Chain A
Amino acid sequence: MMAEAKKEPLHLLLEKKKILICCGSGGVGKTTTAAALAVYASSLGYKTIVLTIDPAKRLANSLGIQKIDFQEKQISKTVLEKAGIKAHGPLFAMMLDTKRTFDEIIKKYSPDPERAQAILENKLYQHLSSLIGGSQEYMAMEKVYEIAQERDYDLIIVDTPPSRHALDFLEAPNKMSSMVGDSILKWFLKPGLFIGRSSIKILDKSMKRIFKTFDKVAGFEFLQDLSTMLISTSGLLEGFQERAQKVELLLHDDETGFLLISAPQPIPLREAAYFYSKIEEYRFPFAGFIFNRVQPLPASSKLPTTLSAAAKAEYFEMQFLFKSLHQRDVGEIQKFKKQIPIDRQLFFKTIPQFDHDIHDLSGLYQLGEKLFLAG
C-alpha cells in the first residue's frame, strides 16, 4: 500500500463526513465559518452546499441568496474565478427558512387538504403554533434531512439557528416526536373528551382528578379548545413522528459531524462547554471545536527615532491594547481546554479576529484557508 501523505484534521474530516453541522451560541461567527468551510471545501473538489440561517446582507449577496426565496442556488464559476477561487467542485448555497413552522408539518402530514385547512383555521392553533418550542429548529433539521436524502452533494454544511441555549435544535426532533408520542397531551386526544363537561364522568377517578386540576389552573374553555385542536391534528401525527425519528437517526449517523464554534469570551465558552457535554450525552457524533475571532498579535516595526514622545506613548498604548486582548483570548481558550478532556483526535482550531467584516467570497476563501491550515 502506498504511504499516504500526512493529512490535516479538517481534510480527514471531509473524507469521513457528509454533513457538518456548525453550532454554538449567538454572535460567535457560525454563519461566516459555515460559509468559509463550504467555499474552501468546494475548491478542494467536493460538490458542496451551505445551508445558512440569517447571513449578513452582504454575505448573502456574495453567496447569491436572498431571504425571500429558499432555493438551492449555484454560485457560478465566473463569480468564483473573479474572487480568485479556482473552483473544482460545484458550490451551492441555500437559505434555511426558520420562519417555516408547524404549518408545514400540518400541510405535509395531513391525509387530505381539507383536514389541513381545518387545522390551520383553528383559532387556537393559529395563536399557538408559532410558539411551539423548537418547531422552527425542527423544520430546519427536516430540510437538511430532505436534502441529504434527495440530492447528491458530497458535503452539506449546516449553519444552525442562534439560540441562547443552542440546544433547542438538538432536542427538537426528539421533543417533537415525544410531544406527539408519550406526552401528557395524548390524553387530550381522546375523541369527545371535552365535548361537554358531563363527559368527564366517563373518566376513571384519577383521570378525573387530573382534568379537574387542569380546569382550575388553565380554565375549562381553554382545555376544550386545546382538545378540539389536538383531535383534529391526531390523524397526521403518526407520519410526522416517523419522520422525526428519521431526522434523529440522521443526526446520529457516522457521516454526520458536529462542529462547535465559540468566541474566546467566558460566556460563549461556558455555553460551548455545556453544549459539548450535551452532544456527548445525546451521543451525537462530535467533530471538533473552532475558536473564532481570537485577537492576533499584529507585528510591530521599529519606531522612527524622530517621533515625538506623545506619538510614541500612543503607539505603546496601542501595543498594550492588542497584547492585552490577545492574552485574554488565549488565556480563556487555555482555561477551556483544561476543563474539557480532549483526548481523542478531535479537530481543534483557532481562527484570528479579522480587522474587518468578512462578507465576500475571497474573504471567505481566505478564512477557509486558515481553517484548513496545518497546526
Chain B
Amino acid sequence: MNQRWDFSSLFKTHLWIVTGKGGTGKTTVTAALGLLGASHGLKTLMVETHGLNHLGDLFEVGKVGYQPKSIRNGLSLAQLNVEEAFEEYVLRQIKFKFIYNAVFNNHYVKNFIDAAPGLSELLTIGKIWALVEDEVRVGKKRNYDLVIVDAPATGHGLSLLTVAQIVVDAVRVGPMKNHADGIIKLLQNPNETLTWLVTLPEEMPVNETVEIEKKLVDQAKVEVGPILINSLWPNILSDTSQKEFRKEKFKDELLKSYEERREQCDFYTTRIKEEFSHRHLIGLPLIYQSSTPLQVAQHLQGVIHQNILGKSL
C-alpha cells in the first residue's frame, strides 16, 4: 500500500505544513515547494511564524512583515507574529480600534500572550486558517490557491496542529470554540491539508521523524504527505573504480572519509525506507557546488518535480 502522490492529488489541497527536526532544512524545502506551486500556476503563499525572517533572506527580499506580500511571480510571503495576530483577532470580534487600544495596551498584550496557555499557537494557526479560508467562507474567490507553512521544529510544530482540539475540549461555547472547530475541520480534512516531513539520513533526525509521523496520524489526525530525505551524500564513486582502488591497495583519508559518510547515509536511508514503506519518499541531494540558498531551493524544486512525475528515486 505504498502511497504515491501525483500533482493532481497534491494540488487539490490548499494548506501544506512543512515540519521536521531542527537543522533538517525545513526552510529550504518550504522555499522549494513555494517555487513548485508557483511554477504550476498556483497563487502560492509561504508563511513563516514567530516573527522569523529566514525565507525573506533566502529570497533576498529582506523582512516582509505580517501582511502577505508578493515577492516573485505567483509567490507571496507572510511573516506572522503573535502580537499582530492577537490584535487582528480581537479587532475582528469587537470592531472598534479605540476599544482595543483602551483595553489592551502593549505591555499587557505581551504579558497576556506569554501567560495564557497555548494562546501563541492558537493565534498562529488561527491566522493561517484565515489566510486559507477567509474568502471561501464568504463565497469569494481564494486569495491563494496554496498556503505553505514553514512550521516550527517537531515538538512545537505539533502543538500548532493540536491546540485547536484542546480548545474545543476545554471551552464549551463562545466564539473561540467556533473558531477552533473551523481550524480542526481544515487541518483534519485530507482534501485540504497536507503535512510534509523533512529529515536527514542521520540517527536523531530519523528517530524523531518516526515519532512525529505517528503523532501526526494519531494525535493531530492530519494527512501525512511525502517524506523528504534531505542532504543525501552524492554517489560519486562507481563500483568499478572502487574495485580499482582496492586492487591498488589505495586508501587515503579522503577515500576513507567518503566511504564512511556514504555508508552512514545508505544505512539511514535504508532505515527510513523500512520505517516508511507505506509513504511516498523523496530523496534530496546534498548540494555542494557553489550556490546561493535560492539556487539550492530552485535545484530542489526541480528534484521534487521530477520525483512526483515518477522520473527518479
Which residues of chain A have a CB within 8 Å of any CB of chain B?
25-28, 56-58, 123-124, 127-129, 131-133, 162-165, 175, 178-179, 182-185, 206, 209-210, 213, 216-222, 225, 263, 265-268, 270, 298-301, 303-304, 306-308, 310-311, 314-315, 317-322, 324-325, 328, 355-357, 359
How many residues on the B side are at the interface (Cβ–Cβ under 8 A)?
72
Known contacts A162-B153, A175-B114, A319-B254; 19 further A-B pairs (Cβ under 8 A): A127-B166, A128-B170, A162-B22, A164-B52, A164-B152, A164-B156, A178-B111, A209-B102, A219-B171, A220-B174, A221-B173, A298-B253, A308-B244, A311-B241, A311-B245, A318-B237, A320-B288, A321-B236, A328-B288
Q: How far is the CB of B289 from chain A (nearest CB, A)?
A: 7
Q: Which of B27, B170, B203, B248 contacts A357 (CB 8 A)?
A: B203
**A355-B256 in contact given A123-B170, A321-B288 (Cβ < 8 Å):** yes
Q: What 6 pairs between A and B have smallest CB-CB spacing?
A: A219-B174, A26-B22, A27-B23, A131-B118, A355-B260, A128-B117
- Does any Cβ of A come within 8 Å of B264's Cβ? yes
Q: How far is the CA of A263 from the CA of B252 in the complex (A)?
A: 27
Name B104's closest neighbour in chain A (CB-CB): A213
Would A210 and B103 count as touching, CB distance under 8 A?
yes
Q: How far is the CA of A324 from the CA of B286 in the complex (A)?
A: 12
Q: Which residues of A contact B241 (CB under 8 A)?
A: 308, 310-311, 314-315
Would B23 and A310 count as touching, CB distance under 8 A?
no
Name B249's closest neighbour in chain A (CB-CB): A304
Would A216 and B93 count as touching, CB distance under 8 A?
yes
Would A217 and B89 count as touching, CB distance under 8 A?
yes
Q: Which of B156, B170, B176, B261 contacts A124 (CB 8 A)?
A: B170
Would B171 and A221 count as touching, CB distance under 8 A?
yes
Q: How far is the CA of A336 from the CA of B171 in the complex (A)?
A: 47
User: Would you list which residues of chain B between 227 and 253 have a CB under 8 Å from chain A?
Assistant: 234, 236-238, 240-241, 244-245, 248, 250, 252-253
Q: Which residues of A contact B139 (CB under 8 A)?
A: none
Q: Which residues of A contact B50 (CB under 8 A)?
A: 164-165
Q: Which of A56, A213, A299 contacts B94 (CB 8 A)?
A: A213
Q: Which residues of A contact B258 (CB under 8 A)?
A: 298, 318, 321-322
Which of B171, B177, B204 lies at the interface centre, i.e. has the most chain A CB atoms within 10 A of its CB? B204
Name B86's closest neighbour in chain A (CB-CB): A217
Q: Which of A25, A131, A303 contacts B22 (CB 8 A)?
A: A25
- Does any Cβ of A come within 8 Å of B112's Cβ? yes
Would B288 and A325 count as touching, CB distance under 8 A?
yes
Q: Which residues of A contact B288 (CB under 8 A)?
A: 320-321, 324-325, 328
Q: Which residues of B contact A310 (CB under 8 A)?
A: 238, 240-241
Name A266's closest neighbour in chain B (CB-CB): B293
Which residues of chain B have a CB within 8 Å of any CB of chain A?
21-24, 27, 50, 52, 54, 57, 89-90, 93-94, 99, 102-103, 108, 111-112, 114-118, 120-121, 152-153, 155-156, 159, 163, 166, 169-177, 200, 202-205, 207, 234, 236-238, 240-241, 244-245, 248, 250, 252-258, 260-261, 264, 288-290, 293
**Which DSSP category, helix, strand, loop or mixed, fits chain B's interface?**
helix
* 26 contacts across the A-B interface (CB closer than 8 A): A27-B22, A56-B204, A128-B117, A128-B118, A131-B117, A131-B166, A164-B52, A182-B111, A183-B115, A209-B99, A209-B102, A210-B103, A220-B174, A221-B172, A222-B170, A225-B171, A266-B57, A299-B254, A314-B237, A315-B241, A318-B237, A318-B254, A321-B234, A324-B290, A325-B288, A355-B261
Q: Which residues of A contact B156 (CB under 8 A)?
A: 163-164
Name A357's closest neighbour in chain B (CB-CB): B203
Would A179 and B115 count as touching, CB distance under 8 A?
yes
Name A124's closest neighbour in chain B (CB-CB): B170
Which of B115, B169, B170, B256 lies at the interface centre, i.e. has the most chain A CB atoms within 10 A of its CB? B115
Would A314 and B171 count as touching, CB distance under 8 A?
no
Name B159's closest neighbour in chain A (CB-CB): A131
Q: Which residues of A contact B120 (CB under 8 A)?
A: 133
Q: Which residues of A contact B261 (CB under 8 A)?
A: 355
Q: How far is the CB of B94 from chain A (nearest CB, A)?
A: 6
Which of A58, A185, A298, A320 lies at the interface centre, i.e. has the most chain B CB atoms within 10 A of its CB? A298
Would A216 and B253 count as touching, CB distance under 8 A?
no
Q: How far is the CA of A219 from the CA of B176 in the complex (A)?
A: 7
Would A218 and B175 count as touching, CB distance under 8 A?
yes
Q: Which residues of A contact B21 (CB under 8 A)?
A: 26-27, 162
Name A312's closest neighbour in chain B (CB-CB): B241
Would B250 and A304 count as touching, CB distance under 8 A?
yes
Name A58's closest neighbour in chain B (CB-CB): B203
Q: Which residues of B contact A328 (CB under 8 A)?
A: 288, 290
Q: How far is the CB of A192 from chain B (nearest CB, A)?
A: 21
Would A356 and B102 count as touching, CB distance under 8 A?
no
Would B264 and A355 count as touching, CB distance under 8 A?
yes
Q: Which residues of B contact A357 (CB under 8 A)?
A: 202-203, 264
Q: Which residues of A contact B22 (CB under 8 A)?
A: 25-28, 162, 164
Name B95's closest neighbour in chain A (CB-CB): A216
Would B103 and A221 count as touching, CB distance under 8 A?
no
Would A218 and B166 count as touching, CB distance under 8 A?
no
